[in-house]
Structure 1
């Protein structure tokens, strides 16, 4: 039967009828203002407040990464500069809907032109404008349709507010026309354990009520399946659920080769869920949450309290903490430069910290003090490291301030090209596949127009991973993976075949990755890795590995 193809998120399988998401509201007309300006301004103010409140409630309900995204959207709805523009237009005789549309569109264009994190925010700003206009019209905002029965949701793409609060009792799976493996939709779907396929270019061909099978492992949407195909899909789904309910075991390959499975966390409050899902430790703890909402860097005592809470959740286990990674998509007024034309290539990560060494010293001091009072095995790494000199600087400073195990992140291709020297200077290396892919492919990871390039399956990226893996093996030092790539079960096997010694991922992906690892020996993983590296493209690498896996 006909199949549509895209990038699968996870290993889930689902079958059911399609329900399409409504297209965005049409552009408001330019008819003149009816009534007085004061009333129009008041109605806009009420609409903005209602939307901000709704987004805030959605964030509270969603929690985790989704809460931060939705709270940022709520702030957009109350941006005073946008409101001033709306008021100005109303005073000039523009109707409220058009004024809102124009004001938000102007800001969208500015953000889109900036690219990077700000470019991604342009799409979120558009979603906020849609919600405000819907409020003014007295209609439901475009979003996930309601249904009394479960369905497969098909959409051009989803706003963060929609993805965060999907009713998993009703939404069996998600299929989007746009987006790539590191898009907001893919990341949030992976974090919530939603069966999904993104980047299905032919998704518009699907119609309401049409029965389909969504096979994320194969990245395929099977249209109008036979009864036998449906039965097979249901069997696969049952087997996956049974595997997820099985007793938790340590990550390992079929031949017993240990592959510790760690969690990526953004706050100490996420630790309990990670432990419950079988995390054997933490492979990436993002410390930015302490800094993003503050006009200045928190003091040592404040930082120490948070780090201690994290470490106490993992007694005797490895916890890898990333030093503050500011800049690019996470600008901080007290640390990073403003007005950079391309902040992803500017003063970010360790570069920014070296420019303000007191902030780095305070953070390392707080981590060392928290480590001294807890029983976890603390490892600390520097972000955005480019060469050996930067490696030596960070490791030396960390050791001076009491950090026992200090390493660096491999996100810049130059680190892979200098792998032997970098690994000689560090205690370990952790590969951030999101940024490594971005810089290898010269494709902004937050820019939707180049999402197709932002694929960690690309052989160019995998060859850099292989160089780091080989250098780590020679030096007998750990080479971990802490980017989104580790959440892809089959890619996780390939990464182990390339020399990765640990895998860190969103906790919801742990079960699928653990199950997939058990299907392959180390020799088989190496053979799959060789097939992927020899391929000419990301898509070809996926196909080559799928064929080799089926044949083994």
Structure 2
């Protein structure tokens, strides 16, 4: 029928019959008015509780990122502000309960979208919760992925993270969405599950295809008029020997991103040589007051303990107006993605950082993990120096920073002079480099980690690493792309941290070519005019 080009967000190839996922309920009617508005409003809370109960049941059978997403969605379903607004709309405006939920959720979604950044990422969750509550109130089947007994390629306008979280990789061969971006929760979960995925494939639903072939590495979706037999590319586990090296023996640490003890166990099971990103904020998503130093120490130790004798990079709190944690009580900002977030939160309350650093150092001593600490959202060498001084005073042996802003990358040598290492957060670095909100589907191509401008900034860091002898790693989602991972190594990156499920494919791909081959591919990529050409040129350089 046709071939579409989207953004590949989870590598791998698969083909099979298509299952179209229609993820929206019809808009509820404003009439008839309820005969008893008080009784009608009283229906909302039980419906929301039932939705939350179902989501919590699913969370109990999940782990890692999937469990966290389902638990957060369950909490949103019973958000007091949302439910109160809907109940008030029934009583004051005499709206049916379903319509009141619809309009109240729209107000919340509009406010989050206007805030941008991390808060805008929650819009899809609000819409998901809205539809689930409306379905419960209306006696309709819940929206989302239908049950299937045939392995299929799912095609949807977009999938709610809660629907992606517990997809069965045996039954879902590949995932294609018309919207979304490379750093959306849906994309991250697809990588974690090892399901090939392409986002921003405009027109995929309208084509009405019966079959499809999907390449999650190139972002290509071939739509077919007839159904085809299910097929998936062989997994890379059989080709990976468990150690990160190029074909000529150049060592590359292959690490996992973690946020919980469950994640740590999965990382080691997948063969991770350690963790390049321990997201400490995942320990405190529901905390209404700052956890004590002892509580933090215990939470960190639970994640660090499985990594005894292995390297772990612990990131201090990455939170702010765009990534709200209740106990931080940060006021709203007109542009949260460019506001007080990450290390910037600590400038006005350094005692918060000092307590966290003390807890991290103590947890390292408790567990035997080889712990390094790094700060997020560092823009200048002076900020790096400020953090390094406090971290070393707390007893940290190895101190680094995350590079998420072009300013930090452009001052690579001066930045690295202040610390022991740097780790590149490609998700935010891409967003800030191209001035493109990473949750806006129409801008997904600008957030493609193959953008040459992004690769050139990474090259600056690689050069500074070689000059100063201080390592630079990548802990953004770009590390999970097997071809791009090798290009990053060719640019001078010495470690790659990713979702555990991506480790075998990345390890196998690295071992197929020498360091010189990867350097040649990297040079072709950074000089390309666009992301698609960068990918194609890198592959051609290796094939040649």
TM-score normalized with structure 1 length: 0.93
1:133 aligned onto 2:137: no
Aligned to 1:144: 145
* Aligned partner of 1:398 among 362, 368, 391: 391
* Aligned partner of 2:517 among 516, 524, 531: 524
Q: CA separation in 2, counterparts of 1:334 and 1:211?
A: 49
Report the more deviating stretch, 170-179 or 277-286: 170-179
Q: How many residues align?
A: 543
Aligned to 1:100: 101
Superposed, 1:496-535 pairs within 5 Å as 496-535=489-528
SS in 2 for 1:503: strand
Report the CA distance shift for 1:362/1:89 in structure 2 as closer, same or farther (over 3 A): closer
1:16 aligned onto 2:9: no
Tell me by how many angstroms 1:334 deviates. Answer: 4.2
Aligned to 1:71: 71
* Aligned partner of 1:423 among 394, 403, 416: 416
Tell me by how many angstroms 1:41 deviates. Answer: 2.1
Tell me by how many angstroms 1:66 deviates. Answer: 2.4
* Aligned partner of 1:482 among 475, 483, 487: 475
The alignment yields a C-alpha RMSD, in angstroms, of 2.1
SS in 2 for 1:325: coil
Q: CA separation in 1, counterparts of 2:208 and 2:226?
A: 18
Q: CA separation in 2, counterparts of 1:93 and 1:423?
A: 62
Report the CA distance shift for 1:147/1:519 in structure 2 as closer, same or farther (over 3 A): same
SS in 2 for 1:509: helix
Unmatched tracts of structure 2, length 5 or more: none
Tell me by how many angstroms 1:328 deviates. Answer: 4.2
Aligned to 2:437: 444
Q: CA separation in 1, counterparts of 2:291 and 2:96?
A: 45
CA contact (8 A) 1:113 1:119 kept: yes
1:355 aligned onto 2:356: no
Aligned to 1:414: 407
CA contact (8 A) 2:119 2:323 kept: no
SS in 2 for 1:373: helix
SS in 2 for 1:307: helix
Aligned to 1:298: 291
Aligned to 2:486: 493
Q: CA separation in 1, counterparts of 2:516 and 2:20?
A: 44
TM-score normalized with structure 2 length: 0.95
CA contact (8 A) 1:18 1:206 kept: no
Aligned to 1:191: 192
Tell me by how many angstroms 1:530 deviates. Answer: 0.8
CA contact (8 A) 2:455 2:526 kept: yes
Report the more deviating stretch, 267-276 or 154-163: 267-276
- Deviation sequence 1:43-73 (CA, Å, 0-9, x none): 3232212112112222222222222222222
SS in 2 for 1:499: coil
Aligned to 1:110: 111
Report the more deviating stretch, 343-352 or 74-83: 74-83
1:435 aligned onto 2:428: yes
* Aligned partner of 2:362 among 366, 369, 376: 369
Q: CA separation in 2, counterparts of 1:115 and 1:123?
A: 13
Report the CA distance shift for 1:362/1:26 in structure 2 as closer, same or farther (over 3 A): same
Unmatched tracts of structure 1, length 5 or more: none
Report the CA distance shift for 1:141/1:256 in structure 2 as closer, same or farther (over 3 A): same
CA contact (8 A) 1:380 1:406 kept: yes
Q: CA separation in 2, counterparts of 1:358 and 1:328?
A: 19
Q: CA separation in 1, counterparts of 2:73 and 2:217?
A: 32
- Deviation sequence 1:395-454 (CA, Å, 0-9, x none): 122112111111111111111111111111111111111111111111223344433322
Report the CA distance shift for 1:509/1:225 in structure 2 as closer, same or farther (over 3 A): farther
Q: CA separation in 2, counterparts of 1:198 and 1:446?
A: 11
CA contact (8 A) 1:458 1:537 kept: yes
Report the more deviating stretch, 212-221 or 346-355: 212-221
Tell me by how many angstroms 1:246 deviates. Answer: 5.4
SS in 2 for 1:298: coil
CA contact (8 A) 1:14 1:172 kept: yes
1:307 aligned onto 2:307: no
Q: CA separation in 1, counterparts of 2:522 and 2:240?
A: 29
* Aligned partner of 2:268 among 261, 264, 275: 275
Tell me by how many angstroms 1:83 deviates. Answer: 2.3
1:32 aligned onto 2:32: yes
Report the more deviating stretch, 59-68 or 156-165: 59-68
SS in 2 for 1:111: helix
1:466 aligned onto 2:459: yes
Aligned to 2:450: 457
Q: CA separation in 1, counterparts of 2:318 and 2:342?
A: 4
Aligned to 2:201: 200
- Deviation sequence 1:183-219 (CA, Å, 0-9, x none): 22111100111122222113124435x2222222332
Tell me by how many angstroms 1:335 deviates. Answer: 3.4
Aligned to 1:119: 120
Tell me by how many angstroms 1:10 deviates. Answer: 3.3
Q: CA separation in 2, counterparts of 1:244 and 1:188?
A: 19
Tell me by how many angstroms 1:161 deviates. Answer: 1.4
Q: CA separation in 1, counterparts of 2:23 and 2:155?
A: 11
Tell me by how many angstroms 1:518 deviates. Answer: 1.2
Aligned to 1:162: 163
CA contact (8 A) 2:169 2:193 kept: no
Aligned to 1:544: 537
Report the more deviating stretch, 110-119 or 328-337: 328-337
Q: CA separation in 1, counterparts of 2:124 and 2:10?
A: 25
